[in-house]
Structure 1
Amino acid sequence: MTTAPTTAPTTGTALVELDDVSKYYGNVRALEGVSLEVHAGEITCVLGDNGAGKSTLIKIVAGLHRHDAGTFRIEGEDVSLASPREALDLGIATVYQDLAVVPLMPVWRNFFLGSEPTKGAGPFKRLDVERMRATTRAELLRMGIDLRDVDQPIGTLSGGERQCVAIARAVHFGAKVLVLDEPTAALGVKQSGVVLKYVAAARDQGLGVVLITHNPHHAYLVGDRFVLLKRGLMAAVHTKDSVTLDELTRQMAGGSELEDLRHELERPSAT
């Protein structure tokens, strides 16, 4: 049985709103008629299997690709983003699964990568290393991240710790919306729990969070809204109080399709 999408109640102007958005690559439909809302202090989870359209959705919100149809609004204003820099200037920070870090550089240098403060002028202008070290340490502690040493190469951190540094960096640089691309995909249970804790911390800082994942258990732990994608289409929309974890998992796993497969794979009864 297919569950009809239910519309989540809204509170105030959404930080990000996609209304009936579509994206095509030639004759290939990547997304069609997708809608979602992201509100301050809430986590919107986008779930789907490989090929569901999650990556395309990220690229639209992050400014990598323009949408072909529908409406994309940021704080109520219609936009068509031309670049990731434009998205960042409007308060949308995206943390990708493969994390754009320089492994051999220290944590503080990666924290400020591309936005390094300087001191002095003219030929005496130089990086303000002391400020970057102190700010990195303070911002990580503010998010509850207590690293042993911000001078250690970021490549020596665990995958979960690197994700947490990226989240703290986005909060520090004024992001209003944080888009996280499968942040727990390559992590074990303990590290996944650490990352989800800091995702919730970003929400508690007042950010609107978009969590892209194929794991309904992780989504249900922190999510307020759930958008399920299937082959570029919306399969369902739920709020936390309108769906159980079991039902969300069933829909994510294919529901009736799995039941049909189970019947096909059953051993024939002995005669």
Structure 2
Amino acid sequence: MPDISTTMIIVLCAAAAAAGWIDAVVGGGGLLLLPALMLGLPANVPLTHALGTNKAVAIVGTSGAAVTFARKAPVDVRTAVRIGVAAMAGAMGGALLAGVFSKDTMRPLIMVVLLLVAGFVLFRPAFGAAAEGGPVSRRRIVAAILLAGLGIGFYDGLIGPGTGTFLVLALTALLHLDLLTASATAKIVNVGTNGGALAVFAYQGAVLWQLAALMAAFNLLGGMAGARMALKKGSGFVRAVLLTVVLALVVKLGLEQWA
């Protein structure tokens, strides 16, 4: 493990717990966890090691949240797994290209996407408030596999931050789910994206396993706590957290961009 101070390790563990909570409720924990790793790791540690360690931490918390949701939320596990398998394949492809784009290049793009997300949710108050009745058509499931699975999975392997949030929005729109069910489904899909990317990073030796194991324990606790709170509070709570997280991250990324 790189030479990291005890204080920084505590900060990274706290960030992991907070990211796990955010990820479980609405996704987007990577937009907290990855920057924390990029700032906390020594300057000589490659970006791919921050990405790989991020995946090793995130998959533990996401798995814990997925299990918690699957037990109590009305999730179509079969459909979620199918999308998750496609997401795993997409994430592996993205991870193979990780490091091609610098963080300075990607930050403005992520900001634009987040602003569009915030605007859409803010001006569509009925979005995700309730699921539409009736079975989901085969065409919509295929679209979810291609867009939410392969597409967002590829992004997760390539860069990662915001994947959970994008999954929640895509699944809500494509499968006509309420935000709570979409968040629960996204956790299962996110396990696939994290697993695919982690497999590639691990093969490349780009995971700091000792640090990841410590942070993963805190991420798991945060993820399970977030899942329980989302189940208790419902879709309205998820929507409020979604807007808060997205707007806070836009401000954070903007300050970093023009600092």
Give the number of the structure with larger relative contact order, counting CA–CA contacts within 8 Å between residues 6 or more apart.
Answer: 2
TM over 0.5: no
What TM-score do the two structures reach when normalised by structure 2?
0.29
Which is richer in strand?
1
Larger Rg belongs to: 1
